[in-house]
Structures are given as C-alpha cells and as structure tokens.
C-alpha cells in the first residue's frame, strides 16, 4: 500500500513544527488532520462564522493540493466547544462547502480543543479517483 503526505506549501512550516501531515493519501482516500479556524496570522477570530469559514478554507487548501475538492469528501467529523450555542451557524457555513450527495457527518461536543479560543476542529476523509 502506498502512503503519501499531502502538505500544501503554506502549511509546510507549521506541519513540520508539529510533526504532522495536513493530509495523508492512502488506499484511495485522503485523510485530513483536524483543523481549527485560525486565520493566516495564527489568530483565532472571535466571530464563530469567521472561524468556521477559515477552517473549511484550510480543508479546501489541503484537498486542492491532492487534486480534489469538497465533492470528494465522504466523511466529516466536527468537534465543537459549545455545540448548541453555534450549531445553526456552523451548519449554515458547512452548506456553503458541501453539496449532494452530502458526506456522512458526526458532530461531537467536547470540553476543549488544543487551540485557545477555538470553537471547532474539523477532520475529513475524501475519496480519490
């Protein structure tokens, strides 16, 4: 089985510092590391919608680096701090990125995330042609 790291150029320094691959292609699937919604400067927006959009944009960057787009996403897991307080906003932003046939999705409420101020961490699995 062939395993290949997918590291967009803009993510290379952070990935190396953390010792992770933003994505790993294996067995016809791309497995993405969970992402939060920090901005390009590393700051975490206070606005939930801005955080969610930034997280989905990061996912899109990794997908494109593998020659894929959101149509390839088959499974999504989102981990939320304060799920009920922002679920409707998250679901609305998510609909801007995914379309039918929608990926399988599990939303989980958690006590906290590694990044201070993060409201969500999203990981996805995408199918490669």
Question: What are the structural domains, with CATH classification, of the chain?
Answer: 3-127 (3.30.1330.40)
pLDDT at 30 over 80: yes
* pLDDT tens-place string over residues 62-103: 999 999 999 999 999 999 999 999 999 999 999 999 999 999
* pLDDT tens-place string over residues 105-123: 999 999 999 999 999 999 9
Rounded (10°) CA dihedral 57, 16, 29, 96: -10
Strand partners, 24: 5, 31
Q: Give the residue-averaged pLDDT of 37-62.
A: 95
Residues 60 and 63: their CA atoms lie apart, in Å, by 5
Q: What is the pTM of this model?
A: 0.96
């Amino acid at each position: 089985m062939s395993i290949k790291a997918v590291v967009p150029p803009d993510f290379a320094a952070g990935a190396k510092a953390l010792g992770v691959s933003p994505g790993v292609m294996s067995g016809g699937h791309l497995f993405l590391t969970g992402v939060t919604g920090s901005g390009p400067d590393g700051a975490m927006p206070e606005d939930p919608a801005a955080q969610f959009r930034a997280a989905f944009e990061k996912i899109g960057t990794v997908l494109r680096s593998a020659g894929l787009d959101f149509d390839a996403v088959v499974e999504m897991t989102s981990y939320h701090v304060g799920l009920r307080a922002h679920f409707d906003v998250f679901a609305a932003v998510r609909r801007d990125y995914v379309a039918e046939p929608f990926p399988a999705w599990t939303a989980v409420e958690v006590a906290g995330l590694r990044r201070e101020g993060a409201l969500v961490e999203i990981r996805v699995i995408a199918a490669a042609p």
